[in-house]
Structure 1
Amino acid sequence: MKNIYEFLKNLKDEKRTKECQLLIVNDEKQAQIASDIVAYLGLKPFVLSDFRANFGDDLLSFSNELQDITKTLSSYYSYKKLDKILISPIRTISYALPKEKCFDSFTINFADTIKIDELKSKLYNWGYYFVDIVTSEGEVSIRGDIIDICPLGSDFGFRVSLFDDEVESIRKFDIEDQKSTKDEIEFFTINPAFLALDENSLSEINEKIENISSDAFIKDIHSLGFWYLDELGEYLPQNLSSFITQDALEELDEVYVFEEKRINKDKFLLTPQIYSSKNYQEIAPANVKEFISFHKEKKITIISGTEAKVKGYDLDLNDKKIKYVFENYILNLVSNDEVIISLNKEIKKRRKKKVKLVLDELQLNDYVVHEKHGIGQYKGIEPVTVMGAKRDFVIVMYAGDDKLLIPVENIDLIDRYVADGSSYAVVDKLGKGSFAKLKEKVKDRLFAIANDIIKMAAARELVNGIKINTDKKILEDFQKSAGFDYTKDQKRSIKEIFADLSSGRVMDRLLSGDVGFGKTEVAMNAMLAVILDGFQAIFVCPTTLLATQHYHSMQKRFSEFGISIAKLDGKTSAKEKAHIKKGLASGEIKLVIGTHSLLEIQTDNLALVIIDEEHKFGVKQKEKLKHLREDVHIFSMSATPIPRTLNLALSKLKGMSSLLTPPTERLGVRTYVKEFSEKLIKEIILREKRRGGQLFYVHNNIASIEVKKKDIEAIVPNIKIQVIHSQIKPADAEKVIDAFENKEFDILLATSIVESGLHLPNANSIIIDGADRFGIADLHQLRGRVGRSNKEGFCYYIVEDKKQITPDAVKRLVALESNSYLGSGTALAHQDLEIRGGGNIIGEDQSGHIKQIGYGLYLKMLEDALASLSENGKIEKKSVDIKLAISAYISDDYILEDRVRLELYRRLSKVNDIQEVYVIEEEMEDRFGKLDIYTKQFIELIIIKILALNLGIQNISSYEMNITFTKDDATKESIKSPSKDDDDIIATTLRYLRK
């Protein structure tokens, strides 16, 4: 920081800033520091992303960096003033980058004439992805007379509505919920998503890509195009006045391990160097006000994002001796005559918005569960003509090739079948009644569970809780000593727990959050509050491995407080056990961490029980913990999110908190999909070894895992490998993990047992064998094993033979690879996890029932059981059978993509309020244009369904002009329509239902 500041300040003082047009730094962090300095000095910075690919790498997992480079260069070229500086990490600038002519742009204006084929061709050449729904920058969707596009660098999309080939309106739309703004705009600009290439350049690149050998999973312009561009220029001395930092020069050898395609290394050695500063020192003042008072004779500048922050530091905004700069720069320096202090903290990198609409919910051949008929296989939507009228039906296949046709307005009766990763669905037999019996059995069991949950919650309500004083400065100091800033979710969860602990009521709270999101840190705040008040706490984990990990981390975090901590698990010797039990009974030991062994202990003054990975414990075990003392506070933690509906049902009975944001310092995990080759495996292992790291290798087959070990040893001789799986004794498994943590070997070869709980920050590459055989949620969880420190993680999804896997598996793997939400890989993984999270609340002893009926239906039934017991009876869900001779469906002329139609069918089938139907209808008009007659009639059919359900009507049918309504009590009423035309039948039915 200090050397860059002094160098640029001197240039500015001497009015020679034009002499530095390119600044080469070490990495992304240094580039951000340089950017703040350049902007602070009144110049215009343009920062290139840190592009750490080696020539020939599959670039899908670098798509964010390439997009950022394209955006930066595009802005850099279009900025015509001379006060600009391009800042680049050494790895990025070591490649030749696109020339100015690659950054053309064009504008779409109101009333322009658009030739669709020409526009499609241009956008394709410019690197836009053509998708069903635009959910990310660099995507376009053309649907009849509606064009949706999200240009590079935009946080929102633009929706162009055409009348014939003329632009009738342009509006912005939100890529999260697809809704457009009411106000129209006059024009917008489209810049390249990759580069502005013409037809010939693109053909040449594609030809080169076809003729190369590459291990890229899909060989196209997005994965390999950058390597074969002719339109590249070198950004070094002959083009620009360049300077390089000492750190960047020291990095050169590391950068040039792979030299292919990079600029000649000597050119960097000839670039003028920025030397260390003699006059400036970097500072981190603990007390800003005091620090300023020591340097009051100097020129003082305070940088702050807001005035409020200045007041928070008790500084005087009217003090004329201090210059205030209200920006987000971070710059902390002192010299003989100057002090610059920034009150700002590092801002977290903006993450991609999650899409609210989850598409891909049902794939062809997915297993589904029908509420009445059980598990079948989804075979798509087909139009069927009944009594001369056309309707869409969902086709579900059952055992013996039996086919069930479900009217699309009742699609809410089926859900995707989700059980655990290892179970396969068994298809039911239609019409045998066995599924109904099974459901009844599960229902009885769930009522018993729900009853227990409610009874226990009621009993605990009557007991006075142990009141803990959580308003202590020492607790604030503990949070500050974590070595990182807490996320907003962590702060909120701690506040909620402290409110419970100090309320005088007994706490029963569940905290859910993804792996590595900091649940244990939240729990430690609760433990410390309780122990400082003189009470004891116990921390229960499902495995000895986890117990050991938590024991070590808590010893470290609590070391300054002199708290006596013990560990009690299957490994503890009989002598130690007796000593620990005695210490707990006397109150001498304040905190104990352990496994199921803790169910048998006696304590002196226990106030808090924390259950980690609580879904791994059965209901009875959790009960036993709660009965250690009737007024004990219970805090449970789970790595899977809880579905919103169940959250609501349970939150009446227990407190619910969740961690949804990752810690600031965590980097993303670079993800690749590859076909297996020995050369690739060798390269992955050696690359991780070179940076001093270790690897997980997931091979999910115990029978062949030893053979796999020998294979890896043959590929990379002298590599140290150990094996772990569920059939290894816990004590032996723990030894292996300890040895791995102590870096005694390089590769932990395991089954998917490593999916949850383990925190091994030095293991930052994971290879997953047979990735196409895992569910997307499991792949997402496994990927979470790496990148858990401040080091970048690498995840490799390996498939045996890409020709043998289904197109859907390819799509899902590539969606995970590029993180672009093209499918909605991450959203879908989250949804799977959410469903499981609900099942997990009950404990593993329920897995048999879950496997038989799937998580989705299981949860619905649990919610119903909880609601009916806590709300004194819940009305049974009703359905209505509509057999009207009308053609009503979302036409494929109106919406071409099946998955988008399916999503709308599902949303409309779940609506039970007419106003909501109109909201969806308005959204459809906005997204897809004016409704055609059949789609309009389908909307009216949904309104008929809602009105009929509210009136207790079971069946509506028509024959010729007669319409018959059958009520719940089996009474019938018939009316006549003026004609048998669709519009008359609909109007007459609606009149009757609304009267």
Structure 2
Amino acid sequence: MKDIFDFFSKKNDCQLIIVNDDKQAQVASDIVSYYGYEAFVLADFRANFGDDLLSFSEEIQSITKELNGFYNYKKQKKILISPIRTISYAMPKQKCFDTFTINFADTINIEEFKSKLYNWGYYFVDIVTSQSEVSFRGDIVDICPLGSDIGYRISLFDDEVESIRKFDIEDQKSFKEEIESFDISPAFLALDETTFEELNDEVQQVESDAFVKDIHSLGFWYLNDLGEYLPTVMNSYITYEALDELDEVYVFEEKRIAKEKFLQTPIVPKSKDYKEVDVANINDFLTFHEDKQITIISSSEAKIKGFDLDLTNSKINYIIKPYIINVVSNDEVIISLNKEIKKRRKKRVKLVLDELQEGDFVVHEKHGIGKYNGIEPVTVMGAKRDFVIVLYAGDDKLLIPVENLDLIDRYVADGSSYAVVDKLGKGSFAKLKQKVKDRLFAIANDIIKIAAARELVNGIKINTDKQLLIDFQKSAGFEYTKDQVRSITEIFEDLSSGKVMDRLLSGDVGFGKTEVAMNAILAILLDGYQAIFVCPTTLLATQHYQGMAKRFKEYGITMAKLDGKSTTKEKNHIKKGLESGEIQFVVGTHSLLDVKTKDLALVVIDEEHKFGVKQKEKLKALREDVHIFSMSATPIPRTLNLALSKLKGMSSLLTPPHERLGVRTYVKEYSEKLIKEIILREKRRGGQLFYVHNNIASIEAKRSDIEQIVPNIKVEVIHSKIKPADAEKIIDAFENKQFDILLATSIVESGLHLPNANSIIIDGADRFGIADLHQLRGRVGRSDKEGFCYYIVEDKKTITSDAIKRLIALESNSYLGSGTALAHQDLEIRGGGNIIGEAQSGHIKQIGYGLYLKMLEDALATLSGEIKEQNKSVDIKLAISAFISSDYIVEDRVRLELYRRLSKATTKEEVYAIEEEMEDRFGKPDIPTKQFLELILIKIFAINKNIKQISSYEMNITFIKNDDTKDNIKSPSKDDDDIIATTLKYLRK
């Protein structure tokens, strides 16, 4: 920092500063901004020539955005700042960047507009959910230009721009105010048709293992005449730190600028005048340097006041900016009150499209499991309506009116279950449901009884208001996420309340659950009580014990580890120590289920879904007033969370730690050359690999293949048929770096924390569900090293287009599909099954998780004395054409999603809100769509009036109530609009 600061303080000038990495780039950006330059910072681009760039799409987009900004910035003082790896490649020339503006009342030629956006690198999608995407829907165009966090919605009247409004890409709703204009910059490069075709043709000819060969995945590597090496054409300087990186950069030399060119670039001289400072007490520091020229930088005036500094002091120069600069010289001091801003993470899209595919299994509440066979228009009594087709055993078909789509749900059981379709009209599903219901009442009853009994017991009151606990949090070496802070507060409130705590913390792999638990453990131990920490495997026990021993070292706590590996002598010593109170804290496995203790106040259960109900009850029985804190890596479904939160405390961690890097994901076709390159690349950086091959029968053959492809590599195999003790030995050896590759089935999906294994190869990735792929990817990138995940398919020509879409969505780490959101949904559905503790897989398999959870919630609500509204339905047989027309909304999955949301609506306000959203996103509804919305209103009003059937014939409309009484009324004509108006008038009375 001091070198760059000194360089610019001496009025030196340049166009390009070459630095070491993105951290140094941020420092340089703050300094040049302080000296009045406009800074454009290129991303730290760590790809090697020829890599498939879909998994580097974030960096490529950032580079495009910054270069576009740099070249189009018209004022004099501007600087490009780049990490050395990025600038070692040719960058697109100035002619590749341009911007055009869309104004209110412009005339747009749609075909030319589409062609331009295509040539400029935009993705064409159904729904715009991230930058560089565009969607055309009739006379509505949605676009999210590169570098923008919001989308723009253009409404056309014929070919004229009738209105432009911003919209939120998370929930698709537009803002009320119209705007005059907005700019569109290229998503990749501003290419004309001919140049685009030439570049595309070249990319197609390239030999590459990229899954999809196109400009997005490979175009950057083949710029040819469109590219130039910027250090050779710009007035540039390089820092000493960047020069130190040269050998690292040139491990893979291909297509980079010659190393000598960097050695010839002038170096930013070392500063003799300035020193960097880290100020602990700012007021003391300023008193010490009061004879110097003082500058204080702060992002706000409030922050200055917070440090008790006087804004009116004329001796101090205050600058309100976000810069972080801390330097001192013989005659000057510059101090920043700002802290480093964490990199913003991509938000998850709130709108999850219903990706129900034809052939997927669904569960109907009354008729059981069938196969979804799409939506078909059917004409009944001269009127056209949409029906969902579900196939049952014996080729039976069930036609469900789309307004009753809420009666079916996706069928999800555990990953290995294959559904068996039911027979229509047999009544067997009703009997099965009753059987499950009885079983669920028993489970719900147990849950409530246990909770009620614990409610009556006085808990051990813990003092959580201690300075030592605050110091412990500060010593973590990282900043807690908001969720961690909130969860710790909730636990401390429970512990100090005088009631018995029973709290569940759910959070994704590596989101910091253990750190939260350690706060609770320390609070207990500081008050003189004992705590035990139970985990499902010896390996996890060892990992937790080592981590906690380090963190608790300075508190003088006597702690031990008790697991399957402990000798009889050790076991006896630990058990005696717990009973006498000599040992305060033990980490262990099932061996802890029957220990005796002196002053036990807390039991922490890790991976609680791996323990059965009986085992958890045994732990609660260790002492009747013991506090229980459970942790699980499986998200809990929201509705079940609400039902259970009356009985249990619930906390969740939804944000990843700040320092966690995303996992670089690639989709590849299998080749020996590729497997060899992946393994050697990880070996070169001193790491190890997971290789997932989900077939026990052929796993040994796979091991031989790997050993032939890369001789001298050590491979060990692990799967569910290997004895637990042997499996733990293998994993232990892997953790101690005794071999290179752990070849396993998907058994490695959860629980392991092996920071040195940072590449994972997943064989036959097209055969895994999206949730499993997401979980497996979470095995790597768990330290400060970047993780690499390779989804391998045997032959891309033979896999379905849906599998390709799913894999590419995961590869670009984006929300092009609803990849991660869907994974989350799947995991949530599975998570509910774990809470109950018993493996209810038989019942779940028969009726699916969705319905199982619904029934458990009902059972819990009933036993808790809540009145839960029974789902009522109404049979509507009106001779009107009512459906969301495909002319109005072209994409089937978007129509299906709207049908699903409308069928679940229970108030007229919900319907009007969805109608407003539809008008906003797709323009004014056409007649059949408008009539479908009115049909949903009819359904809601009829349910509220206890009407079970509405039908019409000619001009006669009949209403049948639940008590079988009838009402007949007449419509002025048999036209659709008259029948609807008459029906609504009757229902609104």
> TM-score of the superposition, structure 1-length normalised?
0.97
Q: Does 1:501 align with 2:501?
A: no
Structure 2 counterparts to residues 543-558 of structure 1, below 5 A: 543-558=537-552
1:488 positional shift: 0.8
Q: Does 1:973 align with 2:944?
A: no
1:158 positional shift: 0.8
Q: Which moved more, 1:853-862 or 1:881-890?
A: 853-862
Q: Does 1:301 align with 2:299?
A: no
Aligned position for 1:682:
676
State whether residues 883 and 958 of structure 1, in contact with CA within 8 Å, keep that contact through their aligned partners in structure 2: yes
Structure 2 counterparts to residues 505-904 of structure 1, below 5 A: 505-904=499-898
Q: Which moved more, 1:147-156 or 1:570-579?
A: 570-579
Rounded Cα–Cα distance in structure 2 between residues aligned with 1:929 and 1:191: 26
Rounded Cα–Cα distance in structure 2 between residues aligned with 1:231 and 1:380: 50
User: What SS does the corresponding residue of 1:435 show, helix, strand or coil?
Assistant: helix
1:453 positional shift: 1.6
State whether residues 411 and 848 of structure 2, in contact with CA within 8 Å, keep that contact through their aligned partners in structure 1: yes
State whether residues 489 and 660 of structure 1, in contact with CA within 8 Å, keep that contact through their aligned partners in structure 2: yes
Rounded Cα–Cα distance in structure 2 between residues aligned with 1:301 and 1:441: 76
Deviations 1:115-171 (A, max 9, x none): 111111111111111111111111111111111111111111111111111111111
1:953 positional shift: 1.4
Deviating above 4 A after TM superposition, structure 1's stretches of 4 or more consecutive aligned residues are none
1:422 positional shift: 2.1
User: What SS does the corresponding residue of 1:966 show, helix, strand or coil?
Assistant: strand
Please point out which of 125, 129, 132 is paired with 1:135.
129
Q: Does 1:225 align with 2:227?
A: no
Aligned position for 1:85:
79
Structure 2 counterparts to residues 258-273 of structure 1, below 5 A: 258-273=252-267
Aligned position for 2:169:
175
Deviations 1:174-227 (A, max 9, x none): 111111111111111111111111110111112112212211111111111122
Rounded Cα–Cα distance in structure 1 between residues aligned with 2:28 and 2:842: 58
Deviations 1:281-339 (A, max 9, x none): 33333333333344333333333323333344444444444433332222233333333
1:581 positional shift: 1.1
State whether residues 567 and 594 of structure 1, in contact with CA within 8 Å, keep that contact through their aligned partners in structure 2: yes
State whether residues 96 and 232 of structure 1, in contact with CA within 8 Å, keep that contact through their aligned partners in structure 2: no
Residue identity in the other structure for 1:811: K
User: What SS does the corresponding residue of 2:784 show, helix, strand or coil?
Assistant: coil
User: What SS does the corresponding residue of 1:607 show, helix, strand or coil?
Assistant: strand
User: What SS does the corresponding residue of 2:378 show, helix, strand or coil?
Assistant: strand
Rounded Cα–Cα distance in structure 2 between residues aligned with 1:627 and 1:970: 55
1:848 positional shift: 2.3
Aligned position for 1:163:
157
State whether residues 386 and 402 of structure 2, in contact with CA within 8 Å, keep that contact through their aligned partners in structure 1: yes
1:473 positional shift: 0.5
Q: Which moved more, 1:906-915 or 1:422-431?
A: 422-431
1:235 positional shift: 4.3
State whether residues 615 and 844 of structure 1, in contact with CA within 8 Å, keep that contact through their aligned partners in structure 2: no
Aligned position for 2:237:
243
Deviations 1:926-956 (A, max 9, x none): 1101110000000011001111111111111
State whether residues 372 and 435 of structure 1, in contact with CA within 8 Å, keep that contact through their aligned partners in structure 2: yes
Q: Does 1:6 align with 2:6?
A: yes
Q: Which moved more, 1:87-96 or 1:343-352?
A: 343-352
**For the structure 1 residues 851 and 290, does the alpha-carbon distance in structure 2 shift closer, same or farther, using more than 3 Å as the test?**
farther
State whether residues 15 and 234 of structure 2, in contact with CA within 8 Å, keep that contact through their aligned partners in structure 1: yes
1:231 positional shift: 4.8
Rounded Cα–Cα distance in structure 1 between residues aligned with 2:271 and 2:717: 51
Please point out which of 44, 48, 57 is paired with 2:42.
48
State whether residues 232 and 261 of structure 2, in contact with CA within 8 Å, keep that contact through their aligned partners in structure 1: no
Rounded Cα–Cα distance in structure 2 between residues aligned with 1:596 and 1:316: 61
**For the structure 1 residues 972 and 814, does the alpha-carbon distance in structure 2 shift closer, same or farther, using more than 3 Å as the test?**
same
Rounded Cα–Cα distance in structure 2 between residues aligned with 1:320 and 1:759: 55
State whether residues 57 and 224 of structure 1, in contact with CA within 8 Å, keep that contact through their aligned partners in structure 2: yes
State whether residues 398 and 428 of structure 1, in contact with CA within 8 Å, keep that contact through their aligned partners in structure 2: yes
Aligned position for 1:960:
954
Rounded Cα–Cα distance in structure 2 between residues aligned with 1:283 and 1:665: 24
State whether residues 372 and 436 of structure 1, in contact with CA within 8 Å, keep that contact through their aligned partners in structure 2: yes
Structure 2 counterparts to residues 186-585 of structure 1, below 5 A: 186-236=180-230, 238-585=232-579
Rounded Cα–Cα distance in structure 2 between residues aligned with 1:22 and 1:133: 39
State whether residues 40 and 80 of structure 2, in contact with CA within 8 Å, keep that contact through their aligned partners in structure 1: yes
Q: Which moved more, 1:234-243 or 1:740-749?
A: 234-243
Rounded Cα–Cα distance in structure 1 between residues aligned with 2:880 and 2:925: 17
Residue identity in the other structure for 2:916: E
User: What SS does the corresponding residue of 1:452 show, helix, strand or coil?
Assistant: helix
Residue identity in the other structure for 1:697: Y
Rounded Cα–Cα distance in structure 1 between residues aligned with 2:335 and 2:936: 62
Deviations 1:570-589 (A, max 9, x none): 22222211111111111111
User: What SS does the corresponding residue of 1:895 show, helix, strand or coil?
Assistant: coil
User: What SS does the corresponding residue of 2:405 show, helix, strand or coil?
Assistant: helix
Please point out which of 61, 74, 99 is paired with 1:67.
61
Residue identity in the other structure for 1:954: K
Residue identity in the other structure for 1:83: K
Residue identity in the other structure for 1:146: I
Aligned residues: 989
Structure 2 counterparts to residues 92-171 of structure 1, below 5 A: 92-171=86-165
Q: Which moved more, 1:287-296 or 1:805-814?
A: 287-296
User: What SS does the corresponding residue of 1:969 show, helix, strand or coil?
Assistant: coil
Rounded Cα–Cα distance in structure 2 between residues aligned with 1:56 and 1:237: 22
Structure 2 counterparts to residues 15-26 of structure 1, below 5 A: 16-17=12-13, 20-26=14-20
Residue identity in the other structure for 1:188: F
**For the structure 1 residues 846 and 338, does the alpha-carbon distance in structure 2 shift closer, same or farther, using more than 3 Å as the test?**
farther
1:360 positional shift: 4.1
Rounded Cα–Cα distance in structure 1 between residues aligned with 2:466 and 2:178: 55
State whether residues 16 and 231 of structure 2, in contact with CA within 8 Å, keep that contact through their aligned partners in structure 1: no
1:820 positional shift: 2.0
User: What SS does the corresponding residue of 1:273 show, helix, strand or coil?
Assistant: coil
Rounded Cα–Cα distance in structure 2 between residues aligned with 1:59 and 1:238: 25
Residue identity in the other structure for 2:4: I
1:679 positional shift: 0.5
Q: Which moved more, 1:336-345 or 1:578-587?
A: 336-345
1:237 positional shift: 5.0
Residue identity in the other structure for 1:777: A
Residue identity in the other structure for 1:402: D
User: What SS does the corresponding residue of 2:178 show, helix, strand or coil?
Assistant: coil
User: What SS does the corresponding residue of 1:189 show, helix, strand or coil?
Assistant: strand
State whether residues 234 and 263 of structure 1, in contact with CA within 8 Å, keep that contact through their aligned partners in structure 2: no
Residue identity in the other structure for 2:926: D
> TM-score of the superposition, structure 2-length normalised?
0.98
Rounded Cα–Cα distance in structure 2 between residues aligned with 1:688 and 1:368: 43
Residue identity in the other structure for 2:15: Q
- Which residues of structure 1 form unaligned runs of 5+? none
- Percent identity of equivalent pairs: 80
Q: Which moved more, 1:526-535 or 1:558-567?
A: 558-567
Rounded Cα–Cα distance in structure 2 between residues aligned with 1:848 and 1:209: 52
Deviations 1:873-893 (A, max 9, x none): 423211111111111000000
State whether residues 666 and 787 of structure 1, in contact with CA within 8 Å, keep that contact through their aligned partners in structure 2: yes
Deviations 1:683-740 (A, max 9, x none): 1111111111111111112222222111111111111222222222222222222222
Q: Which moved more, 1:250-259 or 1:69-78?
A: 250-259
